[in-house]
Each structure stands twice: as structure tokens, then as C-alpha cells.
Amino acid sequence: MSHPQINNILILGGGTAGWMAAAAMSKFFAGQPVSIQLVESPELGTVGVGEATVPVIRQFNRYLGLDEDSFIRRTQGSFKLGIEFCDWLQPGSRYFHGFGDFGAAVQGVPAHQLWLRSQALGNQASLLDYCFAAQAARHNCFAPPPDEPRLAAIAAFDYAYHFDAGLYAQLLREWACERGVEHLQGQIQGANLDPGNGDVASVGLADGRTLNADFFIDCTGFHAQLMHCALQVPYCNWSAHLPCNRALALACERREPLTPYTRATARSAGWQWRIPLQHRVGNGLVYASDYLSDERAERELRHNLEGDAIGDIKRLRFTTGHREHFWYRNTLALGLAAGFLEPLESTSIQLIQTGLLRFWELLPSGANPASVQDEYNRITRAEYERLRDFLILHYCTNQRPGSDFWRYCREQALPAALAHKIAVFRDSGRVPLYDNESYSEASWVAILTGQNIMPQHWALQADQMPASQLVQLLEQRRRDIAAIVSKMPSHEYYLEHLAAH
């Protein structure tokens, strides 16, 4: 495969985004006459103290050929079956978004529709009783999906990871450099544009060096030194829908069990994350500065740590939204340089990964026509919008009393696509899915029902099964899940066993 328009790639910025790009590009262009360089400043550190992911990260690691056990050991990682949401509906409420479904459909009828009908028949079981990931998480159990023939029918599940983002970047750096990526260090000073076509021609460093390339990947975080500073690509601001604009990150000692899930707890003007790693817990508070001062936010975060703080607190200011163009001229933006969606559903690394995959899928063998970039930007914009709507859903359906922040979130005007989703679900139990959705119907159902949006009706097809057969089916599924979970090791035991080999 020939790519005459790309002979030299320069990646600006390291961290998770930069080294994911470097590793993936070196794999994609293996055997091709394409040189890849990455330049980063040794003075810039990472933003967070722990990273949570979604299951697609496993596909990325498999693509590179990274061994899972070694990866977990190198990154001080743990496993993730989903996210527990505490106090989001109202104080004291809890629900779980698991990586999986609620059981196989029966004659085309989704499992949650069968559950809705069973409620009218007197079934007292929660929908989460039929979610394998939720039940394993509830008992702090973990093992990869067992070789159990019944599992696909009763409730399929998947998993992701928690890990130290700095250690993951280090692992990827070693992997990429072993395969020919040239690692440069230097402070990026600015970019030079081609006066003829407006492309980026080169990048200047503070020490006087000039770096030339055919194609550039901007991974310089919120600074977006190419997309914003050099190319002046505008930013689409979504603060009206997602008003949180600041975050604090702080690690602490672990006192609670090593849970196989992330926890997101609603706070006075935002929410707090808990990401359990082997050697510590990553914590952070995402909040809206219009409703909570920086000083009060720090006190709130420190007050709710489970153990003694480790290291210094890290502060982050952001504007939710994205660049109007993600691929512009000869520059591709990834990570924070492309946009920011708060980490409520752990989608930051997912967007890096899908951005890279989409680039490869659309990259033509000859010169890049404008239509290809337009298509890349159209699909990526749609992906961001669907993720935005999924995040808004957590906020707009709250019933938390006495808070201006939560009242604003509840009373905001919703994007039309999200309003339609909620209305259709209320009326029929169905979730309309659009192109470029990142989440399945089961994920939407988990948040909708967790936030107490309950359908008034169920699908008519669910009435075709005799009532006694329906009750028996669901009860058998619940028992099968409990039986398999009872045989699983604890999450902590599984990690200890992994570390010993």
C-alpha cells in the first residue's frame, strides 16, 4: 500500500494520546517508507492520577499485541465491569451501568422489555438482577467471561481497565520506540504554515530546531498548538448543556475494597470519581465554577477521600465541546486537542482510539481529497454529539433538591435527539439509536431506569410469551447468573494471582 502524500509524520505531545498515536501509526505503517517522530516537552506532566476506560481499549491493546497480564502489571492496573452511580437521582440512590446486556432477546424481544412486562405480573426483581456485570461487581468478583455455554443467553458481559495513565504512556513509548518511532524532546515554540496552501510546513522548538513533516498529529492537550494556535480552527462550546468546567485530581491511599468498577458520586455542583488501582486510588472532582468556588471544591474533594492523600492536587480548567474540524488540512487532532467531554463515562481514550481507526479507514492511497476530510469530520462530530447526549442524560433527569446547579441541569433545554430518545423510551420502552452511537440500547436503558425514567408501556411483542413461561425464564436467568458469580474469584484475589505469574 503506497501513501505518497505521507512520508513523514510528526506527533506533537506525548501522554496517552501522543503515545497511543505513535504506537498505532508505527503498527499501521509497518513495512512502509514512512518515518514517525514524536516530540514532547520533558517539563509537562500528565493531567490525571488514574485512568478509567471502556471495553474498546482491549481491542487497541490486542491490535498492538500487548499481553493483558503484562499490561496490568506494568500499569498497576485493575479490571472494570462498569460504573456505579451514587446519589445521582437523589441522595441515597445507587445504580450501575454494566458492560453487557440484561440477557439475550427472545424471539426478537429485548430482555428489558420482557422484564417490564414481568413487573406487571408481580416480579419484584430489579433489572440489575439480570445484568451479569452488575452482579459480579456487587460481590467484588472478577474473571474474564467464563467458558460457560449458558452465559451468552443469560447475560453477556465485557470488561475494561483502570490504570496509571503515566505508566501506560511509558509502556506505549517503549513499544513504539522499539519499532522505529523517533522520540524527541523539546519545547514547542510555534508552527510555520505553507504560504501557498495553508498547510503546516514545520514546527519550531525553543532551542532553535525546526521539524518538518508531511503530516502532523496534534496531541498538545488544551493548548492545541496546531489546531488552535496555528490553524485557528474554531471551537464548538457545549457549556450550556454540560456546565462543569473545572476538575481537581488527587490520589489517595486505598482503604476500601479493590472494586472491579469505577464509582461516580454526585456532589454539590458536580461529581467525584473513584478509580481503584493496585497501589492507590485515583480521585477527582468535576465541578462548575459558577456554582462552587475552587476553595470549596478542594475542601469537598479532600473531605471525601477514603484515605490519606498522596502527592499534590492537580487542577484542570476546560470547556466542554470540540473543534469544528478534527482533521484539517494536513493535521489531525487527538485527545484534548480535539475536544473534551468530562470523564463521567470514561470516553477520553475511546475517542483517541476511534479517531485513529477512522483515520486509517478513510485514508486513501493517493492525495487526500477534501471530501475524505469532510467525511472524517462528519462522523467524528456525530460521535461526539451522541456521547454528549449520553452524558447529559445523567444530569437532566436528576431529582436532587435544593441545588442551583442540579436545578439548572434538570431544567435545561435538551438537544432534540436526546429529548426524542427520552420521550420514545417513556412511551414504549424502546431507545432510538442513531448512526455513530457508542453505546448500545442496554447502556441507555441502564441510565434511564437508574434515573427513574420508567416506560409507561412495553413492546406488544413481549405479550406473546405466556405469563408462566416468562416468569420461569427470568427466574432461571437470575439463578444462573447468581450461580456463575458464586464461582468467580474476588477481584483482589484475581489480581494477586495474576501478579504471581
Q: Enumerate the known binding-site residues for 7-chloro-L-tryptophan.
A: 80
As a whole number of angstroms, the distance between CA 264 and CA 304 comes to 12
Contacts of 167 (CB under 8 A, 6+ apart): 74, 75, 76
Identify each DSSP E strand in 290-446 by its residue range. Answer: 309-317, 321-323, 327-328, 331-333, 339-340
Q: Are strands 160-163 and 78-80 parallel, antiparallel or unpaired?
A: antiparallel
- DSSP-derived pairing of the beta strands 8-12 and 35-40: parallel
d(CA 339, CA 448): 26
Overall size of the chain counted in residues:
501
Q: Which helix (H) or strand (E) is 78 found in, with range? A: strand 78-80
SS (H, E, C) 401-451: CCCHHHHHHHHCCCCHHHHHHHHHHHHHCCCCCCCCCCCCHHHHHHHHHHC
**Angle subtended by helix axes 416-428 and 441-450, to nearest 10:** 80
- For residue 69, give the 3-state DSSP assignment: helix
Catalytic residue among 27, 80, 421, 487: 80
Distance CA 240, CA 414 (A): 10
Closest CA to 320 of 214, 207, 224, 243: 243
Instruction: Please answer whether residues 221 and 314 qualify as being in contact, where contact means their C-beta atoms are separated by less than 8 angstroms.
Output: no
Does the annotation count 80 as an active-site position?
yes
- CA-nearest of 293, 294, 295, 244 to 273 is 244
Three-state DSSP at 242 gives coil
Q: Say which residue the cell 451468552 belongs to.
A: 152
Distance (Å, whole) CA 54 – CA 83: 10
Task: Show the cell assigned to 33.
Answer: 517508507
Question: Which residue type occupies 58?
Answer: R
Report how far residue 474's alpha carbon sits from residue 476's, in angstroms, rounded to the nearest whole number. Answer: 5
Calpha distance 165→77 (Å, rounded): 10
Angle at 377 between CA 386 and CA 287, to 5 degrees: 45
At residue 471, the 3 state secondary structure works out as helix
Burial of 115 (0-12, 13-18, 19+ CB in 10 A): buried
44, with CB counted inside 10 A (0-12, 13-18, 19+), is middle
Residue stretches of the annotated binding site: 14-17, 80, 336, 345, 349
**Among all residues, which ones are annotated catalytic?**
80
